[in-house]
Structure 1
Amino acid sequence: MNFSIQPELENDKYQLIPLSQGDFEALYEVASDSKVWEQHPNKDRYKREVFKNFFKGAMESKGAFKIFEKSSGDVLGSTRFYDYDESKNSIFIGYTFYGTKCWGKGINPQIKKLMLDYIFQYVDTVHFHIGKENLRSQTALERLGGKKIKEEEVAYFGEPTRTNFVYEIRKENHFKVS
């Protein structure tokens, strides 16, 4: 791999900053609202011990970010790049969550655009795992041009296997809609 899956990325409003151990409390403050996880495959991630495991997986991925709002200085949530596959020239984006105060404000499309614009310099295809019951995220990804291509069981870090849909955005399609 001749690129970083954990660069600093930013636009005029937001920064994606590589996640560090010292970010746990600020991120848990956002994640401790049970509404954040209502549609996610693991609905218990608002519990401190369960979130500790999620955070550990994020750190071990070496592709996780905290999402930071420049104007307020607030941590809004987290996302990550993971499972780079050199032979298929593809990568996943996922494990994304935002605090409820961010919902419906157009933040996620801006963050995904930052990530996609960056990663499509290096790969041709980006995949996303989205929980079967996570209608909010499915709709959001379809608005970005994602196509559902299959259903599979996904073993999350230290958690039971869950059914997810796999969505795909190809480089040639992304640059047509950006």
Structure 2
Amino acid sequence: MSRWIEPVTLEGEHVRLVPLTLEHEHALSATASDGELWKLWYTFVPSPEETRAYLDTALDMRDRLGAQPFTVIDKKSGEIVGSTRYFNVEEANRRLEIGHTWYAKRVQKTSLNAEAKLLLLTHAFEQLHTIAVEFCTHFMNHASRAAIARLGAKQDGILRNSGISRNGAYRDTVVFSIIESEWPAVRANLKFRLDR
């Protein structure tokens, strides 16, 4: 049975997104250690001890739910610097979410994230012919909210008490999306930002 989202490598000038595998465990564990990202209470990045379970969950989502997890590679250094994912895949409605995205502290606020999003969105809208791509983040993750808005995504709303965080706090989730008709302007904006 064919999948709507087949494993694919997406490559730009600065970044390469490759299908995530268990062989990436050690490098992703080291990546999360750059900045001790697992200590951020409002997001989930695996600690070194949790990396294998994180990968197992991502690969299970791929196999059972049609998700596609990626490992992010900095082309300049050749190093693994993060992870991202297509998930909440709705093939019948041609919708998906981009998320589970995190990067080593040393590459945050660089061109890597903008180019990775350009690659993911281009593939989603131009090869998969999605009608909408969604992004969700914790209400308290102000950096993530600002980054999603800079992409050109529009805020759809806030889902209050949408889940329970690892520390037991209730999570309010901010939902953003880019729809098919907005894609040309979003693409032009991302390319402009990268050219600068």
User: Normalising by structure 2, what TM-score?
Assistant: 0.79
Q: Indicate conservation of the 8 Å contact 1:39/1:135, yes or no.
A: no
Q: How many residues align?
A: 176
Range moving further from structure 2, 2-11 or 119-128: 2-11
Quick one: distance in 2 between partners of 1:163 and 1:177?
26
Quick one: distance in 2 between partners of 1:92 and 1:104?
21
Counterpart among 109, 118, 125 of residue 113 in structure 1? 118
Quick one: distance in 2 between partners of 1:95 and 1:88?
21
Distance change in 2, residues 1:159/1:176 (3 Å)? same
* Larger proportion of helix: 2
Q: Does 1:128 align with 2:135?
A: yes
Question: Any idea what SS the aligned residue of 1:3 has?
Answer: coil
The equivalent residue for 1:17 is 18
Question: Any idea what SS the aligned residue of 1:27 has?
Answer: helix
Counterpart code for 1:56: D
Counterpart among 160, 166, 173 of residue 175 in structure 2? 166
Q: Indicate conservation of the 8 Å contact 1:33/1:46, yes or no.
A: no
Give % identity.
25
The equivalent residue for 2:77 is 72
Q: Does 1:59 align with 2:68?
A: no
Range moving further from structure 2, 160-169 or 15-24: 160-169
Superposition deviation, residue 73 in structure 1: 0.8
Superposition deviation, residue 88 in structure 1: 2.7
Superposition deviation, residue 159 in structure 1: 9.7
Q: Does 1:88 align with 2:93?
A: yes
Question: Any idea what SS the aligned residue of 1:80 has?
Answer: strand
Superposition deviation, residue 90 in structure 1: 0.6
Quick one: distance in 2 between partners of 1:76 and 1:40?
21
Question: Any idea what SS the aligned residue of 1:104 has?
Answer: coil
| Larger Cα-atom Rg | 2
Alpha carbon RMSD of aligned pairs, Å? Answer: 2.5
Question: Any idea what SS the aligned residue of 1:115 has?
Answer: helix
Unaligned runs of 5+ in 2: 63-67, 188-196
The equivalent residue for 1:97 is 102
Superposition deviation, residue 104 in structure 1: 1.9
Q: Indicate conservation of the 8 Å contact 1:151/1:163, yes or no.
A: yes
Quick one: distance in 2 between partners of 1:32 and 1:79?
17
CA deviations on 1:2-34 (whole Å, 9 max, x unpaired) are: 632531100122110000011111011011245
User: Normalising by structure 1, what TM-score?
Assistant: 0.86
Counterpart among 144, 148, 154 of residue 155 in structure 2? 148
Unaligned runs of 5+ in 1: none
The equivalent residue for 1:50 is 50
Question: Any idea what SS the aligned residue of 1:17 has?
Answer: strand
